[in-house]
Structure 1
């Protein structure tokens, strides 16, 4: 018998993925891939906490995080965007070390969407999980996949853009279809700001 405890709220969902991770390590020992992914994801997860977000789960070479769920706040979209910009700063530092060691540099793909979600605890037999559910989660995942198509690092939905457009810089990518979603969706590339210029 399973029991479900849930709450519905407005929040921001973020998907982050290490681009071309499989290609980078397809001829390497699996332990090397594991330790590298662990190092990068641990570094990124520390930034999530610093920015007031929560890691929902790790997914191979990526992660799902949410803002405004466990730590309720009206500026959840802004926190997610600031987190994304700080992630780029951390990846820049990692790439500096990799460049010195003559290793291939890495890049991130980040997708962000804001809206109504359900956060719940699923308790089924010996398995318990807290997670976020809803179309916002699925859409954020699809947006992250679009970063590859446009060769950009951070893409946000119109919902997130509307919550942050007065404080951050964006470049409109236009309306596009998302895999498995009906209609077209406006996408915006989140640009670095003066506060987050690397060096």
Structure 2
């Protein structure tokens, strides 16, 4: 009987000891299953003892806590990344109306480069509506705004399609440049192609104006090529990505000369040298430019010429060169 009693007591004590060891372990297993099933790292194991088994539960809780912290950081980073991606898409969508895709990509890839002033060789394009003051005086203000916005929309689309940057609007004038922040093989050619397409598109625009019994627009375009300073210029509160320099002023003067010479598009010699193989250009004068001691050669550009027109262009151009190179004895 004593042995039987001893055996029963031993079995009971062994069961209690096994339960003492396995109960916390079962808790750990159960919590692990809940974490996996519910994807919830906030769950913790109750620490019931202060021995090695309790230390195991405590260590498990520390591990879960660190995993939860890391998971939250990753989740927060992922959220910010998604928001940033959405913001970038939104910004791209807004700016792609005014800026070429490759220029937007340059901004997001190297934003610091956009803040620095750099010396670059660019093509500068100025366009202006002839007699716009008179036009606006004879139209209802709402019609003026509507027509002007449609005109700007048509012209800006062309500039951006040719990888140009619309720098600013100055009343009814547009200033744009080609070659920054992304340099292209022939930015002068892109600028001239843009100008010629603008003149062609203006014809369609004026047809729509006529259908609405509104006056037609006539424009002049001047293009120059040369070194300028390009970068973000302004105050800390408001900056503008723009270009400055003498080449910009000359481009503006060339646009003004289109009125004098009755030509819709005039380019400088630096542009002429880069596009003369692609488009017929006529050397017509050494024009006086404000701020220059000597006149500069100017060239109207045409999209194409007939055989007869080519012969006339060639003869006139050669005659002009001889005339302006003549030195009296």
- TM-score calculated relative to the size of structure 1: 0.90
- 3-state SS of the aligned residue for 1:98? helix
2:160 matched to 1:49? yes
Contact 1:157 1:186 in 2 (8 A): yes
Pairwise CA distance, 1:42:
1.3
Please name the residue that 2:146 is paired with.
35
Pairwise CA distance, 1:187:
0.4
Which residue of 165, 174, 183 corresponds with 1:72?
A: 183
- 3-state SS of the aligned residue for 1:192? coil
2:256 matched to 1:150? no
Deviates more, 1:178-187 or 1:12-21: 178-187
Pairwise CA distance, 1:191:
0.8
1:174-189 matched pairs, under 5 angstroms: 174-189=285-300
Which residue of 247, 250, 271 corresponds with 1:139?
A: 250
Q: How many residues align?
A: 191
- 3-state SS of the aligned residue for 1:170? coil
Pairwise CA distance, 1:30:
2.9
Higher strand share: 1
| Unmatched segments (≥5 aa) in structure 1 | 195-199
- 3-state SS of the aligned residue for 1:28? coil
Which residue of 204, 224, 230 corresponds with 1:93?
A: 204
Q: Distance in 2 between matches of 1:38 and 1:102?
A: 17
Contact 1:175 1:185 in 2 (8 A): yes
1:49-107 per-position Cα deviation (integer Å, ceiling 9, x unaligned): 11111101111101101011122113000000000110011101011222344432211
Q: Judging changes above 3 Å, is the alpha-carbon distance between structure 1 residues 179 and 30 closer, same or farther for their aligned structure 2 residues? A: farther
1:17-71 per-position Cα deviation (integer Å, ceiling 9, x unaligned): 1111111111333332222211101110011111111101111101101011122
Q: Distance in 1 between matches of 2:284 and 2:146?
A: 35
| Unmatched segments (≥5 aa) in structure 2 | 1-114, 306-329
Deviates more, 1:165-174 or 1:76-85: 165-174
Deviates more, 1:166-175 or 1:98-107: 98-107
Bigger Cα Rg: 2
Structure showing greater relative contact order (alpha-carbon pairs closer than 8 Å, 6 or more residues apart): 1
- TM-score calculated relative to the size of structure 2: 0.56
Q: Judging changes above 3 Å, is the alpha-carbon distance between structure 1 residues 22 and 71 closer, same or farther for their aligned structure 2 residues? A: same
RMSD (Å), alpha carbons = 1.5
Q: Distance in 1 between matches of 2:146 and 2:211?
A: 19
- 3-state SS of the aligned residue for 2:257? helix
Q: Distance in 2 between matches of 1:54 and 1:74?
A: 16
Please name the residue that 1:197 is paired with.
none
